[in-house]
Amino acid sequence: MLISMTGYGEASGELDGVSYAIEIKAVNHRYLKAIIKLPETDAFLEDDIDKLLRKSLSRGTINCVLRLKGISANSLFEIDEVALRSVVQKLNKIGSALGGGGTTDIAGLLALPGIVQPAVPDEEQSTKVRKLVLELTQQAVKKLKQMRETEGKYLEADLLGHCEAMAEQLEWIRVHRGSITKEYAKRLRKRVDELLAEGKLKLDEETLAREVAILADRSDVSEEIARLDAHLQQFRHICETQTQAGRRLDFLSQEMLREANTVASKASDAEIARRVVDIKCLIERLKEQVQNVE
């Protein structure tokens, strides 16, 4: 069963009056790329979360965001009262020296660097926060993987449908390629007879047979059809038996396109050429969908 690279998962919990909410979004990417956004107070969790994500997921761009909700002012930040008091005293001193009056805007002073700082949890609090956040991350990853599996089922059905349509076109080419050579021989005989009729020359059967044989050899696509059919069977087998198969399916779809291009270059019949175009369109759809497979 295939697994999609796109998905979403979330989880939330509370600790000491602080609500923690983890949100994970995943989209397709060639490799695993984790983007983790944390509040300053919980930046120490980044490495632990990154390891957890890499252990649980193999491909995709993973956006993981931790949000704190319903936090009290004391748990959100700390004010450096000593620094603030020093700034106020200096401003009052300068105001007195200049002979001016007025009041000091405390709110404006809070924007100065170093006055307001994020609250730093102690070791005991850090341990409790780490445990909770990693548990929530694990829950969110589980929901993400469930959604990926559900989408993977639809991806698998779509890919197998394209494979079935391709197999039908390939079977038609396999069945009719022999009759096309015979038809070419008839057309060639008729054309030669018309050209030689006025000269009353007898048709050289050996020469005609040699020309037909040369064309049959040049337009023989039996090997390409066999390889393309083998790729199709392997593609189906991987879809039905493997999970993390995106890279293999991508490689197989490229090989399919290479074989189809060879068949197209050898095709001497308009109907075969048309059906090869249909096959190439189906392969392109496979290539697009495979980019979403983990």
The full set of domain ranges for the chain reads 7-74+122-149, 81-109, 151-290
pLDDT number for residue 72? 53
Predicted structure pTM score: 0.70
Question: pLDDT for 49-89, tens place per residue?
Answer: 999 999 999 889 999 999 987 655 455 566 666 776 777 77
For the chain, give the DSSP string.
---BS-EEEEEEEEETTEEEEEEEEEE--SSEEEEEE--GGGGGGHHHHHHHHHHH--SEEEEEEEEEES--HHHHEEE-HHHHHHHHHHHHHHHHHTT------HHHHTTSTTTEEEPPP-HHHHHHHHHHHHHHHHHHHHHHHHHHHHHHHHHHHHHHHHHHHHHHHHHHHHHHHHHHHHHHHHHHHHHHHHHHHTTTPPP-HHHHHHHHHHHHHHT--HHHHHHHHHHHHHHHHHHHH-SS-HHHHHHHHHHHHHHHHHHHHH--SHHHHHHHHHHHHHHHHHHHHHTTB-
pLDDT at 42 over 80: yes
Q: How confident is the model at residue 242 (pLDDT cuts 50, 70, 90)?
A: confident
CATH of segment(s) 151-290: 1.20.140
Q: Which fold has domain 7-74+122-149?
A: Ribosomal Protein S5; domain 2 (3.30.230)
